[in-house]
Amino acid sequence: MAELPPRYPRDFYGHGPDRPDAAWPGGARVAVSFVLNYEEGGENCLLHGDAASEAFLSEIVGAAPWPGQRHWNMESIYDYGARAGFWRLHRLFTDAGIPVTVYGVATALARSPAQVEAMQSAKWEIASHGLKWIDYKDHSEADEAADMDAAIALHTEVTGEAPRGWYTGRCSVNTVRLAAARGFDWISDTYDDDLPYWARLGDRDQLILPYTLDCNDMRFATPQGFNAGDQFFAYLRDTFDALYAEGAAGRPAMMSVGLHCRLIGRPGRVQALRRFIDYVQGFEGVWCARRQDIAAHWAETHPPVPARGWHMLDRAAFVETFGGIFEHSPWIAEGAHALELGPAHDTAQGLHNALCRVFRAASDEQRLDVLRAHPDLAGKLAAARRLTAESTEEQASAGLDALTDEERHQFDVMNSTYVAKHGFPFIIAVKDHDKAGILRAFERRIGNDSQTEMAEACRQVERIARLRLEALQ
């Protein structure tokens, strides 16, 4: 395959304007996933072989790493999460009968056997949160991959089974791809949707369960975050209300709630979480589920479908597929292929925009050539069966292949008059009209000045292109 022009990897389309029906069990209007990040004992610390102390997500807002030194206060704040916060949250969730997914840092789990046993006794899911809770943005791909493998091995030793889900959090651009290569049921290192989705990574269809940084108690430890539990509760409640209403309207989604033992586990904050749990449990049609349960449901209900992949076609295949979208003008498809295409162009509206950009950027003479490439309506080419397949089908859809002698004469006269005046055929997206409507438009537009008609004809050409692309979906 010839080298492709620039291709944009980020996907701005996703599920699109009409997201699929999640079909949650029992007809639930929203799925709520409570996630407890267990990081205490896995954070940056000289005791863990790191070069500096931890500086992220603690009561010491704005803390900086201490190179070569232990930060006693920072360590003790993290210790609180394991010693007190975890057990407070464990009692809260088990008393409420709500299942939890734990993002467990492998080294933290290894240092907390009592907590691991409590998680397992409560039938909580323990997913992997990496080997250590450190930032991987500056790690080499090889080093990050080695840490992933070590995390899986240690997690399996500590819990007795390999993790089925993965979330690094402080990740690199390589994280999701590396995790997918290790065969996880689900990966949550994205924040880009309210529903699960499939991503094609290498030769694997990988299920992605997007996570959250807004419905997350980490905002208690960041500037412009939550200052009090009431703010956290109000934000969770409003998010839930919005998603519940969308679910009632036939668009059920997923809500993730991110929690940390050392943050929400404090007495002054846990009441906000307790109020939210009570609030959610007051509604019918709410599925509180572990992420592995959501993943299993999605895989069964919405299995992966082959990606269309239009933006990844080589030039020859792209032009062969789309060269006839603009009548007898393959140069428009050639120009579109050279643009910076991405996943968002693998739809009728996306590719239509790319093709139209080329058409609109062309000279007046080039656009006139496109207009002149269109056949007359019900003209001699149609009678001789020399139209393109697209034009034949379009004209037939409006009944232009079954005219009376009088109607055919009327079209012949109007075609001749129109071309003589404007220099190009009368163009209209016939699939938008019936025969009578086409005749009315013909009679109305034939008297326009040529500049007005060229603008209208170009709009109609673009509309025809859109309809042709939609027929390919």
User: Would you please indicate which residues are annotated as catalytic (active-site) residues?
Assistant: 374
CA distance 447 to 439: 13
The residue among 41, 106, 51, 108 whose CA lies nearest residue 75 is: 41
Q: Token digits for 178? A: 């590396």
* Distance, CA of 435 to CA of 309 (rounded, Å): 37
Q: In 97-140, where does DSSP find H-type helix? A: 106-110, 113-121
Query: Which residues pair with residue 258 across a beta bridge?
Result: 35, 216
Looking at residue 110, the DSSP 8-state letter turns out to be H
Answer whether 433's CB lies under 8 Å from 471's CB. Answer: no
**Beta 197-201 vs 204-208: how paired, if at all?**
antiparallel
Transcribe 167-193 into DSSP letters: --SS--TTHHHHHHTTT-SEE------
Contact 185, 205 (CB under 8 A): no
CA atoms within 13 A on the CB side of 130: 26
Backbone phi, psi, residue 223, to 5°: -60, 145
Among 227, 231, 228, CA closest to 215 = 231
Tokens 């929400």 label which residue?
264
The encoded tokens of residue 70 equal: 């232990």
Residue for token pair 């019918």? 284
Alpha-carbon distance of 446 to 414, in angstroms, equals: 8
Q: Which two tokens stand for residue 455?
A: 């603008």
Structure tokens at 359: 């058409």
Helix axes 405-422 and 435-445, enclosed angle (nearest 10): 30
Beta-strand relationship, 204-208 and 253-260: unpaired
Amino acid at 82: A
* 8 Å CB contact between 292 and 101: yes
Quote the distance between the C-alpha of residue 331 and its chain's center: 32
In 3D space, the residue among 177, 183, 178 whose CA is nearest the CA of residue 201 turns out to be: 177
